[in-house]
Amino acid sequence: MMDRIDVLSAVRSMHRAAALRTGHRSTTHGSMESLDITATRAVRHLLSNQPTTAAKVTFAWTVAAGPQLGRAATITWMDDGTLHVLARDEAWRREISRARSVITERLSYLLGPDVVRTIRVRAASAARRAGSSGPVYEDPHA
């Protein structure tokens, strides 16, 4: 079992590697780390110990999308890795589509790389007009 110093060292190494990969500057100052990084890491750790369920993916969506986008859509996760996102209206569908790459990266970090494989986004108003086959905007690289 790793002792506390080993865990802290591993966490710092992961953060540095992620910062290098994404091009972000370090958010650590000496032995201090920003609260948002620490909180996100804690959520990831808590989620990793839970089975993958629709509730877990819904929670991760809320964290990954942020409060406004998280409330602007209803999601349904399928066991095949497809995340159906039903945006409140066309304007929210556009916003979610614009933020898709960031949301996808965050979902992969929180849930693991193979949990959400495809994100299908559509607007609720379009879905109501067209039945269940409204316009769908799909990202197969999610």
Q: Which CATH number covers residue 59?
A: 3.30.300
Q: Which residue has the higher pLDDT, 142 or 66?
A: 66
Give the range of the structural domain holding residue 101, as residue numbers without chain letter.
Answer: 52-139
Q: What is the pLDDT of residue 25?
A: 52
Whether pLDDT at 4 is above 50: no
Question: How high is the pLDDT of residue 135?
Answer: 44
Residue 113 corresponds to which amino acid? Answer: P
User: What's the pLDDT score for residue 3?
Assistant: 44
Q: What is the DSSP letter of 141?
A: T
Q: What percentage of the chain has pLDDT greater than the value 70? A: 67
In this model, does residue 142 exceed pLDDT 50?
no
Q: What's the pLDDT at 134?
A: 46
Residue 94 in domain: yes
Say if 43 falls within a structural domain.
Answer: no
81: left (phi over 0), alpha (psi -120 to 50) or beta: left
**Assigned domain for 105 exists:** yes
Domain contains 28: no
Residue 99 domain-assigned? yes
CA distance to 35, 52, 53, 56, per residue, from 49 (Å): 22, 9, 12, 11
- The pLDDT tens digits of the residues spanning 44-93 come to 888 888 899 999 999 999 999 999 999 999 999 999 999 999 999 999 99
Using alpha carbons only, give the angle 15, 21, 24 rounded to the nearest 5 degrees.
Answer: 70
Domain-embedded: residue 95? yes
Looking at the 3D structure of the chain, how many domains does it have?
1
Q: Does the residue 133 lie in any domain? A: yes
SS3 36: helix
In a domain, 37, yes or no: no
CA dihedral 119, 124, 127, 131 (to 10 degrees): 130
pLDDT at 31 > cutoff 90: no
